[in-house]
């Protein structure tokens, strides 16, 4: 895919991230509102630590950006999103481990490490049911900027695959770099659930 085209494809207001289960890791297909493939990521059995690299297609023609854990000794969930072309930091995603004891919450930070938004799990009832053993309830996170809801990231479960739908529904939310939001959606599946399995409140 042409470099300018691949970057432009990541500026929409709606995306679907489809997860395909593999024996040696998982594959994530990022699609736009018209279900065209605009990004691809192969997890390769990521546990808690490691990088997630997002390419423009399944052939890995061009790497678009990557998600790196900031400190391999940090188990609280702090990640840096980096533009592959320039090696510049796009922003940061930090799991708010104190609040995640009850409900999942992630802070969204800009390249200067200033908090510009957050993602908050929206149902205490669902989380209580999961804690009791029913793990297959879908997750749903609301996105906020300046205390205002600007979007949503919700999980859809089927027998064959999981998918996350990311939607920006407010003009204020359009200021958020989509690469940060797509990274958040990937981390909710690739990392957040692993934190939950290990134990509440890392």
Q: Is the pLDDT of residue 202 over 50?
A: no
- Name the token pair of 109: 């930070």
Closest by CA to 115, choosing from 88, 142, 96, is: 96
- pLDDT given at position 101: 57
121-178 tens-digit pLDDT: 886 555 555 555 555 677 889 999 999 999 999 988 776 678 999 999 888 888 899 9
22-46 tens-digit pLDDT: 656 789 999 999 999 999 998 865 4
For 34: left if phi > 0, alpha if psi spans -120 to 50, otherwise beta; the answer is: alpha
Q: Are 195 and 100 within 8 A, CB to CB?
A: yes
Q: How is 95-158 classified by DSSP, letter by letter?
A: E-TTGGGTS-EEEEE-TT--EEEEEEE--HHHHHHHHTT-TTSPPEEEEEETTEEEEEEEEEE-
93-135 tens-digit pLDDT: 998 876 555 678 899 999 999 999 999 988 655 555 555 555 5
DSSP 172: G
DSSP 2: -
- Domains of the chain (ranges; CATH) run 3-198 (2.40.160.200)
Closest by CA to 108, choosing from 123, 120, 91, 121, is: 91
Within 8 A by CB and 6+ apart from 129, the residues are: 137
Quote the pTM value: 0.84
Within 8 A by CB and 6+ apart from 90, the residues are: 65, 81, 82, 83, 111, 177, 179, 180
CA dist., res. 73 & res. 202, Å (int) = 13
């Amino acid at each position: 895919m042409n470099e300018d085209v691949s970057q432009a494809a990541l500026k929409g207001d709606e995306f679907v991230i489809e997860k395909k289960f593999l024996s040696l890791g998982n594959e994530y297909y990022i699609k736009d509102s018209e279900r065209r493939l605009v990004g691809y990521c192969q997890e390769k059995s990521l546990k808690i630590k490691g990088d997630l690299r997002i390419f423009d297609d399944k052939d890995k023609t061009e790497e678009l950006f990557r998600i790196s854990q900031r400190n391999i000794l940090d188990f609280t969930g702090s990640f840096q999103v980096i533009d592959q072309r320039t090696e510049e930091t796009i922003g940061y995603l930090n799991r708010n481990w104190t609040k995640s004891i009850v409900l999942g919450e992630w802070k969204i930070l800009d390249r200067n490490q200033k908090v510009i938004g957050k993602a908050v799990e929206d149902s205490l009832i669902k989380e209580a049911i999961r804690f009791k053993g029913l793990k297959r309830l879908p997750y749903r996170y609301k996105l906020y900027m300046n205390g205002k809801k600007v979007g949503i990231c919700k999980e859809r479960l089927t027998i064959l695959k999981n998918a996350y739908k990311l939607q920006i529904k407010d003009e204020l939310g359009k200021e958020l770099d989509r690469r940060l939001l797509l990274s958040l959606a990937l981390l909710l599946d690739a990392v957040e659930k692993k934190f939950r399995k290990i134990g509440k409140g890392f």
